[in-house]
Amino acid sequence: MRVLEAKFVQGFMRMADDGWNQGWHERNGGNLTYRIKKEEAESIREELSEDGEWKEIGTAVPALAGEYFLVTGSGKYFRNVMSDPEDSIAVIELDDKGENYRICWGLVNGGRPTSELPSHLMNHEVKMQATGGKHRVIYHAHTTNVIALTFVLPLKDEVFTRELWEMATECPVVFPDGIGVVGWMVPGGREIAVATSELMKKYDVAVWAHHGMFCSGEDFDLTFGLMHTVEKSAEILVKMLSMRPDKLQTITAENFRDLAVDFKVELPERFLFEK
């Protein structure tokens, strides 16, 4: 099968385009990676090159040795993924140590995988192990309202989780484990990758202060839906704070406990503090 005919490639491209249409990917902002299933990699084998030069990832992800990933390119625009995928995205393979990668398809005009490849792969490794292999998608976007909130809310997991849960009843059901937050750090390096993957042991969502968000999920629908839900909730909070600084009424800690019973989710008590 041709790479561009494969369903997972089409799903990846659609998700990139959806993110572009949300306004989360100005210029070359954001990146998306997908851990390809064995049978999916086999289905496109005829188009995968084995001549690519091995290059250092910049970190070690031994649990991902030999895995194939579909990734956006560094400096490439989400806006162009749909119209020019072979220039914008790539299939890469990791070596048998999980320390190097090579390009097997795509980026036909040169280039390399996303500059956040170390963060993505370390998050993939953590989430693959934490979910028994279910999670396959890592997504980074520049979500406007969440970024705005990182200037006015304390950069604490408890505060972001509770405030965003309160803004929409679906939120504690969609992200019951909560949200992690890291303070501002230089992007692209190992340090931010380590900090984010540490949060990903507990959460499916990590906020990068004054920068954006990272989400992890099983498939494109769930991961995009998670990013969309958190950002929508942040938009409501921004609107609320713009109208008045305090709430006249809200969803209470007791309301969340009732919701948890009916929707069969476990909400950690550390997010249900009395205010």
Instruction: Give me the 194-213 binding string for Zn ion, x by CB under 5 A, dash otherwise.
Output: ------------------x-
Q: Which is nearer to Zn ion, 178 or 212 (CB)?
A: 212
Q: Is 125 among the residues known to form the active site?
A: no
**Longest alpha-carbon distance in the chain:** 63
- Site size with Zn ion, rule: CB under 5 A: 1
Contacts of 182 (CB under 8 A, 6+ apart): 155, 192, 195, 196, 199, 206, 207, 208, 209
Could you list the beta-strand ranges (E) of the chain.
31-35, 55-56, 68-72, 89-94, 100-106, 137-141, 180-182, 205-208, 212-217
- Which residue matches tokens 């090579």? 102
Selected catalytic residue, list 40, 116, 163, 235 = 116
- Annotated binding residue at 142? yes
Rounded to a whole number of angstroms, the CA Rg of the chain reads 19
Q: Which is nearer to Zn ion, 69 or 78 (CB)?
A: 78
Q: Which is nearer to Zn ion, 34 or 78 (CB)?
A: 78
What is the rounded CA–CA span in Å between residue 248 and residue 6? Answer: 51
Contacts of 106 (CB under 8 A, 6+ apart): 3, 73, 85, 86, 87, 88, 89, 90, 91
* Nearest distance, CB of residue 42 and Zn ion, angstroms: 33
Q: Which is nearer to Zn ion, 79 or 162 (CB)?
A: 79
* Nearest distance, CB of residue 80 and Zn ion, angstroms: 17
- Annotated binding residue at 211? yes
Q: Which is nearer to Zn ion, 176 or 212 (CB)?
A: 212
Contacts of 196 (CB under 8 A, 6+ apart): 119, 122, 123, 182, 206, 208, 214
- DSSP state for residue 165 in the 8-state scheme: H
Instruction: Give me the 100-139 binding string for Zn ion, x by CB under 5 A, dash otherwise.
Output: ----------------------------------------
- Residue 122's region, left for phi above 0, alpha for psi from -120 to 50, else beta, is alpha
CB closest to Zn ion, residue no: 212
Say how many residues make up the chain: 275
Q: Are strands 205-208 and 180-182 parallel, antiparallel or unpaired?
A: parallel
Q: Find residue 138's DSSP bridge partners.
A: 33, 216
* Nearest distance, CB of residue 140 and Zn ion, angstroms: 6
* Nearest distance, CB of residue 108 and Zn ion, angstroms: 24
* Nearest distance, CB of residue 29 and Zn ion, angstroms: 6
The residues in 7-26 that bind Zn ion, with binding defined as CB under 5 A, are: none
The residues in 206-245 that bind Zn ion, with binding defined as CB under 5 A, are: 212
Please give the annotated binding residues for Zn(2+), written as ranges. Answer: 140, 142, 211
Residues that bind Zn ion (CB under 5 A): 212
Q: Which residues are annotated as a binding site?
A: 140, 142, 211
Catalytic residues: 116
